Structure 1
Amino acid sequence: MSFAPVPRRAGTGAARRRGALMVLPAVTVTAIVVLGGLGATLAQAFGLLPIIGPARPGIGAFTAHPDDLASAVGVSLGIAATSTAIAVTVGTAAAIVIVSGRLGGRIVAGLGAVTVTIPHLIGAATIGLLLADAGVLPRLLGIPPESWPAFVGGPWWAAVIAEFAWKESAFVALVVTGTLATRVSAFDETAALLGAGRWKRFRHVLLPLTLPSIIIAGAIGFVYALGSYEVAWLLGRTYPEPLPVLAVRLFQGVSLDSRPEAAAVAIVTSVIALATVALTFAALRRTAAWR
């Protein structure tokens, strides 16, 4: 049996060029909108595009409220990292259950499909009504409001993390299920025929082959949780504020002087998101399945 590399099919380069030309219009429009918005925000944050008065270049917008900005970064990273870790764990487990083909897997698949279609604002309202001290869950359990933990608006941002983890776990399950159904099932069956148990198949077959999909889905969930406004505003504390809540509050302030500060917060959020994307691609290149 020969293990020599399989040569590329003829016309692969031409097909790639045709594919690139087909997506070029959409990529061009998206790049103009995104780069234009980032450029305008960057110019406003550094005082080059003032709302009123002459331009005063500098970093004053970044240093106007350093304590608030540092607290916002810490809160946003904590919420995004915790919710993403929970979502990846739950979503990967749900995907394995779904591809099993049993009745429980079909039920989980149906619940996941319904969850993905629910907007985050409705999900946040649902979590709030469920976990508030006078909500549905404490009433069903017969626990008085003063004895119920402060999940909504509490110090640990529990309701915010729960909403992101719930919604993003369904997204992760959808992405990983597609990988398991198309690429991994044959390898898993072969390993089972060779006598590998469930844990060995998960460790040596399922996890390595699905790791790129898990990393990509987790990165998308992390970036979304980092920049989402409505969930943190509705379910979180008033102080310290996450980055998107701080940016919106500064932007809607009575004084126009706070607009550059809001732009600075937006730039900090964008830098963290871009760094996450860069780390994601670096991690993907280290996976065996990607290589």
Structure 2
Amino acid sequence: MAGVLLAAPAVLVVAFVVVGGSAMVGAQSLGLMPLVGPPHLSTVAYTAHAGDVVGGAGLSLVIAGTSTVLACLIGFTAALVMMQGRWCGKLVAAMSTLSIPVPHIVGAASVGLLLADSGLLARIFGAAGSWPELVGGPWWLAVIFEYAWKESAFVGLVVAGTLATRSVSYEETAALLGAGRLRRLRHVLLPLSLPSLIIAGTIAFIYSFGSYEVAWLLGRPYPEPLPVMALRLYNSVTLTSRPEAAAVAVVTAVVSLAAAATALALLRKIPLWR
């Protein structure tokens, strides 16, 4: 009870901001808080760009899902290297720690300078004319690469922190019982890190799904991911586009909440979490 009381002020402030902001966005998307004209309940904002919203949602899911899977694979591998305690593990931990504070917009600019058809790699390999369209191309590879790089450091540090407090005794016991490295990985390390992998992966997915700056800087003008579409509609000179931007934001929030609910459902099925 004492812990609840200590956390209550911060929780109340965050809840006020999140719930209040979400309620205002929802009301604006339904026409109840228009910038011009009288308020009236309407779903026109949700149907005005229905085709683009569906396409943008699919594109955002592909970008966020692919980058999250790559981030989890790379992050889990990095965590295993960190747990070795050797110089390479310390180097990986230091590089991961240094990459966390780098803003995504700075990371996106760096990836653009590295992977563009006139970027550093194209000049090093002397293939400026035949370099693939990694930046602004049809497969959104530069966007996925940036998210995977940044979020893999976060996933790796979270998983390494979990394994550092739990895995040593279990892994030593498994080794004494004759389990090889692959068996220890499958039956000890992976089950112990699965809850933290799901949590960190969900955070990475929701951030990648709702973030606009990387896709805006490294992606194509069309089709647009949902966050980029919401930003464009919000900054439109037409004031009637504000409810449409709010509707796109609501769709983005609903998908993010669905991802969080799915992660919680998966966590409840894991014996270690229970």
In structure 2, the partner of 1:11 is none
**Please, what TM-score do these two structures have when normalized by structure 2?**
0.99
Distance in 1, Cα, partners of 2:179 & 2:86? 21
1:25 and 2:25 aligned: no
Tell me the residue number matched to 1:105: 89
Report the counterpart of residue 6 of structure 1 in structure 2.
none
Number of matched pairs:
274
Q: Which residue of 2 aligns with 1:90?
A: 74
Q: CA RMSD in A?
A: 0.7
**1:184 match:** 167
Q: Is the 8 A contact 1:46 1:58 kept in 2?
A: yes
- Whether the aligned pair in 2 keeps the contact of 1:208 and 1:288 (CA below 8 Å) is no
Q: Distance in 1 between matches of 2:214 and 2:93?
A: 25
**Distance of 2:41 and 2:131 partners within structure 1:** 51
Q: Residue 110 of structure 2 aligns with which residue?
A: 126
Rg larger in 1 or in 2? 1
Q: Which amino acid aligns with 1:264?
A: A
Residue in structure 2 matched with residue 53 of structure 1 by the alignment: 37
Q: Are 1:286 and 2:269 an aligned pair?
A: yes
**2:117 aligns to what SS in structure 1?**
coil
Decide which of 205, 210, 215 is 1:227's aligned counterpart: 210
2 CA distance for matches of 1:186 and 1:79?
Answer: 38
CA–CA distance in 1 between the matches of 2:89 and 2:259? 32
- Which residue is 2:193 aligned to? 210
State the shift of 1:277 in Å: 0.7
Q: Matches of 1:110 and 1:244 in 2, distance apart? A: 32
Residues 108-163 of structure 1: CA distance to partner in whole angstroms, max 9, x if unpaired?
Answer: 1111111112111110000000000000001111112x311100000000000000
Aligned: 1:243 with 2:226? yes
1:140 corresponding residue in structure 2: 124
Cα distance in 1 for partners of 2:172, 2:164 equals 12
Give the fraction of aligned pairs with identical amino acids, expressed as a percent. 57
Q: Which residue identity lines up with residue 108 of structure 2 in the other structure?
A: A
Q: Which structure 1 residue ranges, 5 or more long, are not aligned?
A: 1-16
1:56 CA displacement: 2.2
Q: How far apart are the structure 1 equivalents of 2:91 and 2:154? A: 16
CA distance in 2, matches of 1:253, 1:56: 22
- One-letter amino acid of the counterpart of residue 117, structure 1: P
Amino acid at match of 1:123: G
2:248 is aligned to 265
Whole-angstrom CA distance in 1 between matches of 2:149 and 2:99? 8
Q: Residue deviations 1:179-217, cap 9 Å, x none?
A: 010011110111112110111001001111110000000
Instruction: Name the SS for the 1:210 alignment partner.
Output: helix
